[in-house]
Structure 1
Amino acid sequence: MIASMIFYFWAMAFAWISNDPKEKLLWSDEFSQELDTLKWTIITGDGCPDLCGWGNNERQVYAQAKENLRIENGLLVLEAHYTDSVFSSARITSRGKAQWKYGYIEVKAKLPQGRGTWPAIWMLPEVFQYGNWPHSGEIDIMEHVGYDPGVIHGTVHTGAFNHIKGTQKGKQIEVPDFAENFHVYAVNWLEDRIEFYVDDALYHVFYNTGEGTEDWPFDHPFYLLLNVAVGGNWGGKEGVDSLVFPQRMEIDYVRVYQAREPKS
């Protein structure tokens, strides 16, 4: 009887913790089967004619061939290749299918390596409410450029703070085994701040200045993008080593929770 009561109270406590609204799961993809096209759209091409090089002079053409995009052993694989002098890679987006205003967004991933690779886990606005990029905002949950191995970047771009002006707001954290092991890259997006994490370690906070949408346009829904770019203004700053390809980003899962109480 006593053992049963102890188990009951333990179970109730566990249920209370599990149902903590700060931990409420809103959306996820565990990539256990084929790519779920109810959750993701596959992007193809080179961005032309409107945004050739995807706005950054990138060299890849996005494709949906299985060598570039597939589910393999419960992992989403986005793989860049160099064949017949052409770089191909993969990009998917949740635009029009899943978007969020605030939340804790985390992606467990293993990254590609080599000079010229530029993987990204990032977010853009579903509607460009305050004007074209960067005025409506961008949240870069994780970026890594191959010529600077192990340095993970978390950044936001707005009308006031962006890389065109050299005023972007971001910080870095070192993850030496980025290509050998999986790590969890995340943001906690709240009304007054965006926190950036790797493996639950907080390394950057961008605060709402209260000075208007040019500083803080992050008050409307954003969607997710996952891609591996090749070259470009940043990724190709020190050239592209074609001999390192193929290179892949592997995604174990994507999970979106209700925003958590801030750590700082």
Structure 2
Amino acid sequence: MLEKKKYRCLLAMLLMAWHTVAVFAQTVQTVQTAACCGGCRPGYRLVFCDEFNGADGTLPDPKVWKCCRRRPQVTWARFLSDSPDVAFMKDGSLVLRAVPASDGSAGEGTMRTGGIESSQSFAFRFGRVECRALVNPFIGNFPAIWMMPRTDLKWPQGGEIDIFEQINGEQKAYSTVHSAWTKGHPGEPHSGNISLPMDRYHVYAVEWEEDALTFYADGRQLYQYEKQNDSQEQWPFDKSDFYLILNQSVGDGSWADKPDAAHTYEMRVDWIRVYQKEKTGTCRNAVPTEKDTGGKGFCALRTAGKGEKETDERGEARAGRGRKSGGRRAFP
């Protein structure tokens, strides 16, 4: 009888110890996730984040991001460069620049601009994207935080989601959607804007649901675009996964003015995070990363799988963006 009591006591102690370890592990995981996402959103799970806390002067994680490809005939992409002076981390932020080109004969034109994207590592469908960023308004300024679809369809048939743009010296944030419908109906509103002091950081966001895209700046609703029918033309936003793009560009006079070729333009991104509601949304190419808390509830990165083609991100999409607020025109 005494031996049985000893065994029961030992078993109880082991169970208590196991429970303590499990609670501790869960607490550590929660703290680690909160450290990355800066807090939790009730009813949501964090599926992706980058805090850009790497060593000063280094590039963001190449397993996550790659430099946007230069295309001379595309307005926003005509000066893109993989030069280390236009995309790097500093003081816990991602710095993206447009700088005077030192040698136009290298085929870079008058400027070199920086941009990064996640087409081969992370894409998702439905959720909330939040990004904290600071821009420096100036004639010709054209930074953007936006999303493009993984699809073989030509722009804008697959859609485009512009979470944030700012132009020239304006103290405004713009949010816009593009589709075949908006291109064919330029008078129909598909954009909104809000006045903001641009000498400080702001949090720009989009809530992407099955039937609506709602844009925010510092928690204030900026614009909402709603599903009208299930056609690819009007609502392509439930038919493809979308990936993230961050870039600092300069205008060409069609919407943002032509740049001052002697000026250095800059956008700083403190962090970017993607949340999804607990019971909705899809997340593709999910594998653990160094920032992952054990691979649980966290979408991240791997190279695009077989059969997944990288979208020619705005190969045509920003090939001239002359647009006006409240129904701005998007060029093909």
Both proteins in one fold, TM over 0.5: yes
What corresponds to 1:112 in structure 2? 136
The 3-state SS of whatever aligns with 2:85 is coil
What corresponds to 1:69 in structure 2? 87
TM-score by length of 1: 0.80
What corresponds to 2:50 in structure 1? 29
What corresponds to 2:236 in structure 1? 217
What corresponds to 2:158 in structure 1? 136
What corresponds to 2:308 in structure 1? none
The 3-state SS of whatever aligns with 1:161 is helix
**1:181 equivalent among 170, 178, 200:** 200
Structure 2: give runs of 5+ residues left out of the alignment: 1-26, 31-38, 105-109, 279-332
**2:223 equivalent among 199, 204, 227:** 204
Separation (CA, whole Å) in 1 of partners of 2:111 and 2:277:
38
Give the strand-richer structure, 1 or 2.
Answer: 1
Separation (CA, whole Å) in 2 of partners of 1:151 and 1:163:
26
Are the counterparts in 2 of residues 156 and 162 from structure 1 also a CA contact under 8 Å?
Answer: no
Separation (CA, whole Å) in 1 of partners of 2:95 and 2:62:
15
Deviation, 1:166, is 4.9
Pairing of 1:83-98 with structure 2 (within 5 A): 83-84=101-102, 86-98=110-122
1:192 and 2:211 matched? yes
Larger radius of gyration: 2
Deviation, 1:211, is 4.5
**2:251 equivalent among 231, 248, 251:** 231
Separation (CA, whole Å) in 2 of partners of 1:83 and 1:165:
35
Separation (CA, whole Å) in 2 of partners of 1:166 and 1:23:
36
User: Alpha-carbon deviations, 1:26-63, whole Å to 9, x = none?
Assistant: 10000111411111111243x04xxx1x2x3x585212
Pairing of 1:43-58 with structure 2 (within 5 A): 43-45=68-70, 47-48=71-72, 52=73, 54=74, 56=75, 58=76
Are the counterparts in 1 of residues 177 and 190 from structure 2 also a CA contact under 8 Å?
Answer: yes
User: Alpha-carbon deviations, 1:147-199, whole Å to 9, x = none?
Assistant: 4x1111101001111388454501110112x1x21100110000010110001
**2:97 equivalent among 51, 65, 79:** 79
Separation (CA, whole Å) in 1 of partners of 2:187 and 2:118:
29
- Residue 226 of structure 2 aligns with an amino acid whose one-letter code is Y
Are the counterparts in 1 of residues 63 and 121 from structure 2 also a CA contact under 8 Å?
Answer: yes
Separation (CA, whole Å) in 2 of partners of 1:184 and 1:256:
13
1:259 and 1:162, CA in 2 relative to 1: closer, same or farther beyond 3 A? farther
What corresponds to 1:3 in structure 2? none
Separation (CA, whole Å) in 2 of partners of 1:247 and 1:160:
33
Structure 1: give runs of 5+ residues left out of the alignment: 1-11
1:163 and 1:145, CA in 2 relative to 1: closer, same or farther beyond 3 A? farther
User: Alpha-carbon deviations, 1:107-144, whole Å to 9, x = none?
Assistant: 1000121111100111100114xx31111100000011
What corresponds to 1:39 in structure 2? 64
TM-score by length of 2: 0.64
The 3-state SS of whatever aligns with 1:210 is coil
- Residue 94 of structure 1 aligns with an amino acid whose one-letter code is S
Separation (CA, whole Å) in 2 of partners of 1:43 and 1:19:
31
What corresponds to 1:124 in structure 2? 148
- Identity across aligned pairs (percent)? 30
Choose between structure 1 and 2 for higher RCO, CA contacts under 8 A separated by at least 6 residues: 1
What corresponds to 1:247 in structure 2? 265
The 3-state SS of whatever aligns with 1:37 is coil
Are the counterparts in 2 of residues 59 and 231 from structure 1 also a CA contact under 8 Å?
Answer: no
User: Alpha-carbon deviations, 1:2-24, whole Å to 9, x = none?
Assistant: xxxxxxxxxx9xx9xx7766331
User: Alpha-carbon deviations, 1:216-243, whole Å to 9, x = none?
Assistant: 000120001111111222222xx33334
